[in-house]
Amino acid sequence: MPDQPSSAPPSESIKSPAREIASIAVPVSLEIVIQLVLTFINQVIVGTLGAVAVAAVGLTGSLSFLFFVTLGALSSGTSILIARRAGAGDRAGVNQTLTVTTLLSLGLGGVLTVPVVLYSGPMLALAGGAPDVTALATPYMQVVMLALVPGMLGWVFSGALRSLGHARTPLVATILTVAIESVLAYSLVFGVGPFPRLGVVGAGWAILIANVFKALYLAFQIYGPRRLARVQLPARGGLRAIAAPLLGISAPLAFTEFAWSLGGFLYAAVFARVGTAALAASQIASTLEGIFIVASFGLMSSATVFIGRSLGAGDPHAAREWIRRITRVGLLTALVFGALYALSSVFVPTLFPRVGAEVHQIAVAGILISASAQVFKVRNMIVGGGVLPSAGDGKGVIIGDVVGAFVVGLPLAIVLGLYTPLGVWGVFLARVLEEISKVIIFDWRRRRVDWEQLAREQSGQPLAAAH
């Protein structure tokens, strides 16, 4: 086989495989870094309003995150299906898939937005908000939830652009969006110039306006002069042919995203039962880990794009080659950034000077334990978040995430953390064992995939003709 898989678009034929992987992975990872910077900037802006404002934004974020991250899985399904159609040279299939996904995003987002906006107050109260926090958080959450639909459209369009070979465009959109949101948040929170002083709610309006801008910008990039796609409804019966596999891929990912969020919450609860110092240390370790793991995050998108194109082109050998290459890159990034994550433990006392010596000690040890698991965690991101969804094995994704977290990790965290002398070290160890169990399950499911059969199914089968 030549070094370049046959499924690559002609415009990318001069790129080496490593450069092709980087062309997807690097922009995606940079987008996440920029989002982290935006989160930090917003925390600083809102932090000037006092502790209640910070608590209100934090409570809203923890609740709204469940909705955003769950429905965001539709973007992954879109990316996989469009990559298959692009690999097969099926332009009509690309148009129809994106049109149907856009309509589904509008429908699902709208159906979910209305009740959450209407009942934000009771939901925040059930989430544990004190009366003063809930009173401030309610109007903020109502505005933030209005950003769900444009936010979903932005994710869907971003996934489509990556699959069509334009991974840099979503990065540009994210940079512009962050700039707009930061300026608007500062202006609307404090009433700068012609803008009204809205306080915490102003930050919510900034999020909404920025997300609307991003969705419109990306739509223009797709449907505007570049003509990467056009609105095209499928013929009778074609809607189901697109929606069924789209939901079949996206629903398991949405479930696992929700399970992941729930698992993180439950781990925090276990750390809290061990002690306040343990909880604070775990948050420090988790925050620093997020900075370094992001370097490998874009490899999931690389896997979905290149595997999807290979299957669409009817080339199972190319699909397996991309898996081998991407997992090899993942091993390298895990080792390098895992080592940097471990080294960051040296700076814990400097970065968090007022948390106390006990928290410092636990955080440093927790970082070192977590750093030892980076190889497993990155492999799970690639296989569980990219390879198996691309193969349509949603069941394998669910099995791995549910068994890993709720059969292995959390039970061990409770037993080792609360009922053995290991204490907090037992909880950190349980998280490592969760990742190892996922590696075993995900690799078992990967070996079961019949790539030849998948390639036959996905190649040369244009979707139903349009009206």
Q: Which residue, among 159, 125, 152, has the nearest Cα to 70 in the 3D structure?
A: 152
Q: How far is CA 254 from CA 67, 77, 226, 250, in A?
A: 10, 10, 31, 6
What's the pLDDT tens digit per position in 159-201?
A: 899 889 898 999 999 999 989 998 999 999 999 888 999 988 9
**Of residues 463, 462, 460, 163, the one with CA closest to residue 307:** 163
Of 99-103, 115-119, 230-234, 269-273, minimum mean pLDDT range: 269-273
Residue 40: band (very low, low, confident or very high) from pLDDT cuts 50, 70, 90 = low
Confidence of residue 278 (pLDDT cuts 50, 70, 90): confident
Rounded Cα gap, residues 244 and 78, in angstroms: 12
Please, what is the Cα angle at 341 between 429 and 24, to 5 degrees? 110
Please state the rounded mean pLDDT for residues 249-257. 80
In percent, the amount of the chain with pLDDT more than 70 equals: 93
- Strongest mean pLDDT among 22-31, 283-292, 429-438: 429-438
Q: Give me the sign of the Cα torsion angle 46, 50, 53, 55.
A: positive
Please tell me the distance from the alpha carbon of residue 339 to that of residue 342, in angstroms, as a whole number. 5
Is residue 385 a contact partner of residue 393, using CB atoms and an 8 Å limit? no
Output the pLDDT for position 264.
77
Whether 5 shows a pLDDT value over 50: the answer reads: no
- Residue 176 near residue 184 (C-beta atoms within 8 A): no
| CB 302, CB 21: distance < 8 Å | yes
pLDDT at 107 > cutoff 60: yes
- Supply the DSSP symbol for 384: I
Structure-token pair, residue 453: 């059969």
Q: What pLDDT is attached to residue 330? A: 94
User: Does the structure show a pLDDT above 60 at 465?
Assistant: no
Interval 439-458 mean pLDDT? 92
How much is the pLDDT for 43?
65
d(CA 453, CA 204): 48
- Res. 6 pLDDT band, cuts 50 70 90: very low
Query: What is the residue extent of each domain of the chain?
Result: 17-233, 248-459
DSSP 467: -
Average pLDDT over residues 71-95: 86
Q: Who's near 461: CB < 8 A, 6+ residues apart?
A: 88, 90
pLDDT tier, 128 (very low <50, low <70, confident <90, very high otherwise)? low
Q: Residue length, the chain?
A: 467
Q: Report pLDDT for 371.
A: 94
- pLDDT value at residue 4: 40
**464: pLDDT confidence band, cut at 50, 70 and 90?**
very low
pTM of the model as a whole: 0.75
Secondary structure of residue 218 in the 3-state scheme: helix
- pLDDT tens figures, 365-400: 999 999 999 999 999 999 998 999 989 898 999 999
**Adjacent-strand bridge partners of 234:** 466
- Alpha-carbon gap, residue 235 to 11, rounded angstroms: 31
pLDDT computed for residue 2 by the predictor = 38
pLDDT above 80: residue 460: no
Coil, strand, or helix at residue 234?
A: strand
Instruction: Please give the Cα distance from 235 to 190 (Å, whole number).
Output: 52
234 band by pLDDT with thresholds 50, 70 and 90: confident
204 alpha-carbon distance from chain centroid: 21
SS3 466: strand
**Contacts for 138 with CB less than 8 Å, ≥ 6 apart:** 120, 121, 124
Torsion of CA 109, 35, 62, 406, to 10 degrees: 90
Mean pLDDT of all residues in the chain?
Answer: 85
- 454 three-class SS: helix
